Amino acid sequence: MGVAGCGKSTLAAAIAEAEGLPLVEGDDFHSAANRAKMSQGVALTDADRDDWLAVLGQQIRAHPAGLVLTCSALKRSYRDRLRDARPGLRFVFLDISRADALERVAARAATHFYPASLVDSQFATLESPVGEAGVLRVDAGEPVVRLQRQVSDWLHKEVFA
């Protein structure tokens, strides 16, 4: 979880491969209306995210053996809705600076629907999950291989603790 450009998709793919879990890309479940809104530089509201979060909760419940899900999950209320789908759900928070997020989002502009103009709205909405149970904060600037190992180690420690 984290703001646009933090590396959710890249890290999630590495974790899913390493752990042998299915990967569910949260962006794939945005409605056409939400995608159009974001493409036009309009930030989503809580109401816009409501159905999306419900579908992501269904995806979590549909994979009882586990999955790796990418989702911004910017507010605690969003994370709590996802936790309702699976008690004990864990989150990896990819922490990134505004400048780095802007740079990354701008660099992928030709291939991604999300514009750099919305990065500030992501930071304005973000309620840091640091201190919540079941959350690991990682530095999004670290190499993906290092992050994947850190997350895998944490997941196994949590499961077998």
The model's pLDDT over 108-145, given as tens digits with 9 standing for 90+, comes to 666 566 666 778 888 999 999 999 999 999 999 999 99
More confident residue, 37 or 2: 2
The string of DSSP codes covering the chain is --STTS-HHHHHHHHHHHHT--EEEGGGGS-HHHHHHHHTTPPPPHHHHHHHHHHHHHHHHT-TT--EEE----SHHHHHHHHHHSTT--EEEEE--HHHHHHHHHHTTTT-S--GGGHHHHHHH----TTSTTEEEEETTS-HHHHHHHHHHHHHHHHH-
Instruction: Parse the chain into domains and list their residue ranges.
Output: 8-160
What's the CA angle centered on 149, arms 143 and 151, to 5 degrees?
100
What mean pLDDT is predicted for residues 140-154?
97
The model's pLDDT over 44-84, given as tens digits with 9 standing for 90+, comes to 889 999 999 999 999 999 999 999 999 999 999 999 999 99
More confident residue, 7 or 104: 7
Specify the pLDDT at position 34.
85
Q: Which residue shows structure tokens 């079941």? A: 134
C-beta separation of 93 from 128 below 8 A: yes
Class of domain 8-160: alpha beta
Question: Is residue 159 pLDDT above 60, yes or no?
Answer: no
Distance CA 51, CA 73 (A): 14
- Least Cα distance to 151 among 27, 3, 15, 8 occurs for 15
Question: Is residue 160 pLDDT above 70, yes or no?
Answer: no
Burial class of residue 66 in the structure, from the number of CB atoms within 10 Å of its CB (0-12 exposed, 13-18 middle, 19+ buried):
middle
pTM of the model: 0.89
